[in-house]
Amino acid sequence: MQIGVLGTGMVGRALATRLVGLGHDVMMGSRDAMSEPAQDWLRAQTGTASVGTFAEAAAHGELAILAVRGDVALDVVDLAGATPLKAKVLIDVSNPLDFSQGMPPVLIAHLSNTTSLGEEVQRRLPLTHVVKTLNTMNADVMVHPERVPGPSDVFVCGEDAGAKATVMSLLKSFGWDAPIDLGGISAARGTEAMLPVWLRLWQALGTADFNFRIVR
């Protein structure tokens, strides 16, 4: 599959690298395709990989992934453009975190509680199938769930059943056996609000190799 990954940070690099390793044709997008992080990532790949702008990566992918900081996510969506993403699946793994006051960060007020970043992305892209997932864990665990001993859970939400099925299939290729469908994109309010708890757990446990498990 051709996949565009929007973002050259730790999360974007982890996802793009895993996808290349699984045999996908991946273009990593950034503001500047010649940026050092983008070029460093490209040199490290042995599969089908390329770099481009956000708009080029969005156009390249049959499916795209939004993997940037929450405070710039909507700007990146605008730079990618609605036309290249029209009728495509966009996986949103970003979280609306404000790091301006140091650690731990807080949720961005106008992107939480009564709305979510996932919902705002969907509003910016009404003709795109936005699916929120993978935002409740560390980047390494996203692509290698076996880093956490025993079973753990990944959540999925979005408005289109077919888009969620596509995303769940991709998640299973990463090693997630049973993604939990939480319903429409408004469920992103809940999964994004899990981040303050996740950050406190990270501090308390001294490692990011952990995850949530729903026991019933």
* 53-90 core/surface letters (b: 16 or more CB in 10 A; e: else): bbbbbbbbbebbbbbbbbbebbebbebbeeebbeebbb
Q: Which of 11-15, 101-105, 177-181, 203-207 has the lowest mean pLDDT?
A: 101-105
SS3 content of the chain, % helix, strand, coil (to 5): 40, 20, 40
Q: Give the per-residue pLDDT at 76.
A: 97
Model pLDDT, residue 103? 81
pLDDT digits (tens, 9 = 90+) for 190-210: 999 999 999 999 999 999 999
The answer for residues whose C-beta is within 8 angstroms of residue 193's C-beta and 6 or more apart is: 107, 112, 113
Q: Residue 124 and residue 158: Cα distance in Å, rounded?
A: 14
DSSP letters for 123-143: HH-TTSEEEEESTTS-HHHHH
Q: Collapsing DSSP states into helix, strand and coil, what is residue 22?
A: coil
| Residue 101 clears pLDDT 90, i.e. is over it | no
Is residue 99 very low, low, confident or very high in pLDDT (cuts 50, 70, 90)?
A: confident
176: helix, strand or coil? coil
Residues 2-205: name the CATH superfamily.
NAD(P)-binding Rossmann-like Domain (3.40.50.720)
pLDDT value at 23 more than 90: yes
Residue 9 has pLDDT above 90, yes or no: yes
Give residues with Cβ within 8 angstroms of 122, minimum separation 6.
128, 130, 159, 185
The domain segmentation of the chain, as residue ranges, is 2-205
